[in-house]
Chains A and B, each alone.
Chain A
Amino acid sequence: MNPKRISADFQVFAKNYVRNPVALFFSLIFPLILIGMFGFIFSGSSGPVTVYTENLDHNSNVSRAFLSALNTSNAVRISVVPPVTGGNGTAAFGSWLASNGDTVGLVIPDGFARAYQTGNSTTLTVYTDPQDASGSGIALGAVSGVANGFNLQAAHGRPIVTATTANVGSQVFKYIDYLVPGLIGFTILTSPMFAMVDISSSYRKDHIFRELSLTPLTKGEWLTAKILWYILLTIVTALLMLAVGTLAFGAHVGLTVEVLPFFILGPFFFVSLGMIAGSVAKTPESAAVIGNVVTFPMMFLSGTFFPVSGFPPFLQTIAHALPLYYVIDGMNQAILFHNYGATFVADLLVILALCIVAFVGAILLFKWRDE
């Protein structure tokens, strides 16, 4: 490994790359378009979930205490609306919510305070909207949580299990928060994979590998230069995506140095993997097919567009077998959860091991010359 030759090859590759407008468009603008598109589509469900509340308990102290407990959970924001149809509004409230386009609602029944004080049962109604599953889930969770607290208090019980707010719990993550690292991961996967599959077959066809094999440049140096270029490209696109995510869509992502290893190891791995995919193929057509077969499952199942924790168990198992999962999960730990414990370290070690295997594999598999 000669750093001078790596640097010479890096410079020529970079120049050739940036002078190609299509390649540049796809690597810089396309990720921003992606984040813009998804950001706009899902920005409606952002922020604490607004819960429109009909308080039929005549503004009793207990009902007000209940609502303010809900507000302090940070998960929901209570917006009290005047009762729509006098005392008994449940059915009418449902249609009112629907006609206002407001999705989630809560009704505190008449006699709520009395029931609390006398130990009788009473029922809170939470209106959920199937079209906003996450918002509805958050509202239901928050209401049940506060209700449990009230139940314990009313029974003069001492809570055995209490939830204390840690980092994750103190913040309610919005879809856009997951989307930013997810789409950065998407770019880390697709940009080097597709490029390297293409390079491996076009360089072979144009005899550029043979041309280079006649110089002192080694395969390892050549591959290292490509890896360095895609690391640089990843860092630039990731910063752009973070900026757009936070500034335009209010994503709660905090840039930390701990994310850097994933900006480095991610492209490192996928450049090598792309080279392997391109090298095992005999023709450019089959190279493209192999590239797609390897790429597509990762594009959707690694936590790119949806957090893996929301997957059904069997899909989670599949996700854990995909290298990109560890990159995205590691980035989530670093820029969302700021959690550098065992999960973070495990993600890092998995992707590091994969990098070493893929780099060596790529160098062994791809051929400069006809053997």
Chain B
Amino acid sequence: MGDAVRVQGLTKSYGELNAVGGIDFSVPPGRVFAFLGPNGAGKTTTVEILEGLRKRTKGEVEVLGLDPWTQGRALHHRIGVIPQEFRFFDKITPAESVQYYARLFEKPADVEALLARVELSDKANARFDTLSGGQKQKLGLALALVNDPEVCFLDEPTTGLDPHARRAIWEVIRMLKADHRTVFLTTHYLEEAQLLADQVAIIHQGRIIASGPPDAIIRQYGRRERLVVQGSSALAEKLRASLDLPVRAQDGRIEIAFREKADIFRVLDAIEKSGLPWSGFATQSDTLEDVFVSLVGKMDEGVLKPAGVA
């Protein structure tokens, strides 16, 4: 089976502005793909091109083997979409909205089950203009699922949701994945991407600066695993002198990067021998968020150049 989403040399310009500047990626079917990037990076532009809502300037785009712009009608039967900032008819309730979509798609819908799945049952009969921001988002997700889509495009589905509601959405994404659906997710919550995604791509100023499975990206761009203790700068000096490992100290917090497990015992030994007070011993590794912040920071400073990472 071919890729669910295939993008090659995609470019989108708004007049002078190159919002997307020639990107390539593909998403195999049944995977969760997280598309990450700072504000204005070009995520929504890309997603909307994939959904057939925007016309691309250049490049090849295929979703389920169809061209989203020219074959949108066929495609829309097979995909589900939550736009960024979902809005709907003011006086229509979630139950009525789901029923409406079911009739448009000519699909039987279990309204109650679908609303329960996105944890919106208690507001099934409340009018849209009385829903909170998070509840509106949940309705958007419910509507995206009405047609039992093969690919779901979720543009910041959890933005503005409370931690509990966010977990409910994660659960829906996990269920979609278990059901072999493809999910294309954009989010500013990096822990969400790290938790859910099989693949991520980080886009910055319209170019992809890193892509691959989250672990691989962390390994490639992240710092080494570190030991952290609370202690004075005198302790840091002693450790620097006695160990051949990089030691950083700031605000009473000392970080020692280690190469192998055995290094941990040498560090503990050196701390003990120093005779100085210490506390709060722990190990720490980079998260996707650390990598993201550092990569985007380096890009902004011009240290790194965008590379077509596979």
Give A residues with C-beta under 8 Å from B: 4-5, 7-9, 11-13, 15-16, 19-20, 206-208, 210-211, 213-217, 369-371
Judge if B90 is at the interface, Cβ distance under 8 Å. Answer: yes
Q: Inside 8 A of A7's CB, which chain B residues have their CB? A: 103
B203 interface contact, C-beta 8 A: no
Contact B96 A214 (CB under 8 A): no
Pairs across A and B, CB under 8 Å, 27 listed? A4-B103, A4-B106, A5-B104, A8-B100, A8-B103, A9-B100, A9-B104, A11-B100, A12-B96, A12-B97, A12-B100, A15-B91, A15-B96, A19-B91, A20-B91, A206-B87, A211-B86, A211-B87, A214-B53, A214-B81, A215-B76, A215-B105, A216-B77, A216-B106, A217-B104, A369-B53, A370-B53
Q: Which residues of B contact A15 (CB under 8 A)?
A: 91-92, 96
Can you list the 9 inter-chain pairs with the closest CB atoms, starting with the nearest?
A8-B103, A19-B91, A206-B87, A215-B104, A16-B89, A16-B91, A12-B100, A369-B53, A214-B76
Q: How far is the CA of A81 from the CA of B86 in the complex (A)?
A: 77
Residues of B within 8 A of A8 (CB): 100, 103-104
Are A214 and B127 interface neighbours, CB within 8 A? no
From A13, A19, A206, A369, contact of B54 by CB (8 A): A369
**Minimum CB distance partner of B101 in chain A:** A215
Q: Which of B55, B72, B101 neighbours the largest number of chain A CB atoms within 10 Å of its CB?
A: B101
Residue of chain A at shortest CB distance from B128:
A16
User: Is B73's CB under 8 angstroms from A216's CB?
Assistant: yes
By secondary structure, the A interface counts as helix
Report the minimum CB–CB distance from B14 to chain A (whole Å).
10
Contacts of A19 in B (CB 8 A): 91, 127
Additional A-B contact list (18), CB under 8 Å, known A12-B89, A20-B90, A214-B79: A4-B103, A5-B104, A7-B103, A12-B96, A13-B89, A15-B96, A19-B127, A206-B87, A210-B53, A211-B83, A211-B86, A215-B76, A215-B101, A216-B76, A216-B104, A216-B106, A369-B54, A370-B54
In the docked arrangement, what's the CA distance between A369 and B206, Å?
A: 22
Counting chain B residues whose Cβ lies within 8 A of the other chain, the interface size class is 20 to 34
| Nearest B-chain residue to A369, judged by Cβ | B53
Return A4 CB to nearest CB of chain B, in Å: 6
CB distance from B109 to the nearest CB of A (A): 12
Task: Check: B51 CB closer than 8 A to any chain A CB.
Answer: yes
Whether B85 is near chain A, meaning CB under 8 Å from some CB there, is: yes
* A166 CB → nearest B CB, Å: 52
**Whole-angstrom distance between the alpha carbons of A371 and B56 in the complex?**
9
- Inside 8 A of B222's CB, which chain A residues have their CB? none
The distance from the CB of B85 to the nearest CB of chain A, in whole angstroms, is: 7
Interface residues in B31-79 (C-beta closer than 8 Å to A): 48, 51-55, 72-73, 76-77, 79
- Is the Cβ of A214 less than 8 Å from the Cβ of B51? yes
* Contact flag A208-B54 (CB < 8 Å), given A12-B100, A215-B105, A216-B76: no
Kindly state whether residue B88 has any CB partner on chain A within 8 Å.
Answer: yes
A207 and B85 within 8 A (CB): yes
In Å, the complex CA distance between A16 and B100 comes to 12
**Given A19-B127, A216-B77, A5 contacting B53 (CB threshold 8 A):** no
CA distance A210 to B86 in the complex (A): 10
CA distance A8 to B77 in the complex (A): 17
* Interchain CA distance A99-B83 in the complex, whole Å: 74
Report the nearest A residue to B103, measured CB to CB.
A8
Q: Which residues of B contact A214 (CB under 8 A)?
A: 51-53, 76, 79, 81
Chain B stretch 170-191: residues in CB contact (< 8 A) with chain A: none
CB distance from B156 to the nearest CB of A (A): 14
Q: Would you call B87 and A208 a contact (CB within 8 A)?
A: yes
Residues of chain B within 8 A (CB-CB) of A210 are 53, 83
Closest B residue by C-beta to A13: B89
Provide the B180-210 mask, 1 if CB < 8 A to any CB of A, else 0.
0000000000000000000000000000000
Cα-based distance from A16 to B128 in the complex (angstroms) = 10
Q: Give B114 Cβ to nearest chain A Cβ, in Å.
A: 16
Residues of chain B lying within 8 A (CB to CB) of residue A11: 100
Residue of A20, A207, A217 touching B87 (CB-CB under 8 A): A207
**Complex alpha-carbon distance, A9 and B92, angstroms:** 12
Q: How far is the CA of A214 from the CA of B76 in the complex (A)?
A: 6
Q: Which residues of A contact B83 (CB under 8 A)?
A: 207, 210-211
A12 to B104, CA, bound (A): 11
Distance (whole angstroms) from the CB of A91 to the closest CB of chain B: 68
Q: Is the CB of B53 within 8 A of A216?
A: no
Q: Chain A contacts of B87 at CB under 8 A? A: 206-208, 211
How far apart sit A100 and B89, CA to CA, in the bound complex (Å)? 60
Closest Cβ–Cβ distance, residue A243 to chain B (whole Å): 28
Output the least CB separation between A316 and chain B (Å): 44
